[in-house]
Structure formats: structure tokens, C-alpha cells
Amino acid sequence: MTQKPEVTGFFDPRTWSVQYVVADPATKKCAIVDPVYDFDEKSGQTASRNADRILDFVRQKGYAVEWILDTHPHADHFSAAFYLKQKTGAPTAIGEKVKDVQQLWKGFYNWPDFPADGSQWDRLFADGDTFKVGDIEAKVMFSPGHTLASITYVIGDAAFVHDTLFMPDSGTARADFPGGSARVLWESIKAILALPDETRIFTGHDYQPGGRPPLWESTVAEQKAANIHMAKCKSEAEFVAIREARDRSLPMPKLILHSLQINTNGGRLPEPESNGTRYLKIPLDLLKGANWG
């Protein structure tokens, strides 16, 4: 019988992100998945409100943090992985293909000395790797398409699919970022939907279509039956046409150029300069052709 972790979602309305605490109730050990470090691009302020809310929950439940997991280098929020590692001592992990994303963005940011070797994390997962959260078996699926490095964590009966599938009424994630591919995303989603029908699907964003309350949990069966893209598209070509047409209409995420320099570095903020202030570096005219929105 498949083990069933206790999953708690934490919705961040500023970035429409869902962060997770995944716990083994028997051992009280847990993993934190895709935590957000707060950033206000208008004022340049950073904060740890989301991460501290998760830490407060972990303390209240009496959990011990065993892993801090990112599914990919996010383009719409900063990762709190490094902050949480400092607070808990737990190891950080991401997919091994993050090295390809680092190499790509190292060039974009003109960082000749940046180590694009994944050394910013404690563990780099390959497709098929296994680990445990407490006594619950977990495995890694390579799920590219949205990014070169995206992975899915299957922890017991729960799959954390982040930017592949959204809730059924929202469809699928975009695939037009540097290194993305709608064709590759189709294959990744088909592999996720080949998991057992009762597998719980936990998505990484919810944009609240129609103004409904935020939702983040579905099942493989529900996704196959009702996902507005996957239930409708009967072929890869049909999906690619719909996905690429939709992507052409979307502006870039407002924080993509801010976030990638933090998230390719494991969630570390830039080092303070001689005046004690940290600075972001924004390349101009890099994403030419993107919808201005």
C-alpha cells in the first residue's frame, strides 16, 4: 500500500505560489518544497515572512526538517532554500540539470567566474533517484519543458509537479522561457499522468481563475478527466499548438530577471558591496520579442 504523507500548502498571494510542508506523521520528519523568500520589486525590500510562517508551522507540529527541496529555479519568486538551510541545518536539493540552467544564465548575466556546477545545493537529484522523508519512500522524476531542470517529487502517494500541471481549470504551465519547450513539456506531463489515478497532484501555482479561492490539490484521475489542456488535446501536435499560441500572448513574469540570479545561486542574495548594500543586475533587451503586457 502506498504511504500517505501529511501535506500542508502555504499560498503566497503576491506570487500565486504554493509552498509545501510534507511530513511523515509517524516519525515527525518533514520536507519543505518550493519555499518563497519575499521580495517587493517596487521598493527593493526583501523579507522572510513566508519562510518564517513555514518555520512556525513546523515548530507547532513538532516536526524535524529533513529536506529543503526546490523543483526548479523559479522565474517568478526568490527561493527561500538558503534562508531555511541557515535556520534548520537541513540539506537543500534540486534537479541535476540545474547546471544547464546555470550555464545559460551565467552567460546572460555576464558572470564569467560563477560556478555553474550545482555546488550551491547539498544534493542534485537525477531522474529515478530515491530518498526518504521520515520512513516514506520518495522518488524523483525529471519533468523538463517549463525549464531545462524541472523535476517532480513523488513522496508516497503525493506528486509535487510545480510548473507542469496547474489545477484542471487552469491547464498547464508555459514553456517559453529560455530552455523551455512545449513539446518536451507534453512528454513530461504524460509521464506524470501515467502515475496511479489516485496519486495526489500538488501544483506550485494557482492563479484563481474567475476569482475562486486558491486551490492546489487534485488527483491524476481528475487531471486526466478535466484538465482544460490535457483532456482536450489528443496529440502532442495539438497541445504544442495550443501551448505556444497561449505563450505568445503572455508577458514575461515580472520577476524573471530578478529571480534567476538569486535562484541559480541556490537562493542566495547577492553579496553586499563596499557600502553594505546588495544590488541586483538586470540585463536590458535580453528577452527580445516577449509580449510587453
The sheet that has 217-219: what strands, in order across it? Answer: 130-133, 136-142, 151-155, 158-162, 200-203, 217-219
Domain membership flag for residue 130: yes
Residue 233: which CATH number? 3.60.15.10
- What does pTM read for this prediction? 0.97
Residue 145: name the closest of 72, 63, 254 by CA: 72
How many separate domains does the chain show?
1
Q: Give residue 244's domain range.
A: 7-257
Q: Is 15 left (phi over 0), alpha (psi -120 to 50) or beta?
A: alpha
The sign of the torsion formed by the CA atoms of 50, 90, 163, 231 equals: negative
pLDDT at 293: 77
Residues near 107 by Cβ (< 8 Å), separated by ≥ 6? Answer: none
Domain membership flag for residue 281: no
Question: Tens place of pLDDT for every residue, the chain, 293 residues?
Answer: 789 999 999 999 999 999 999 999 999 999 999 999 999 999 999 999 999 999 999 999 999 999 999 999 999 999 999 999 999 999 999 999 999 999 999 999 999 999 999 999 999 999 999 999 999 999 999 999 999 999 999 999 999 999 999 999 999 999 999 899 999 999 999 999 999 999 999 999 999 999 999 999 999 999 999 999 999 999 999 999 999 999 999 999 999 999 999 999 999 999 999 999 999 999 999 999 899 97
Domain membership flag for residue 265: no
Q: Cell match 555553474: residue?
A: 116
Domain membership flag for residue 288: no
Domain membership flag for residue 26: yes
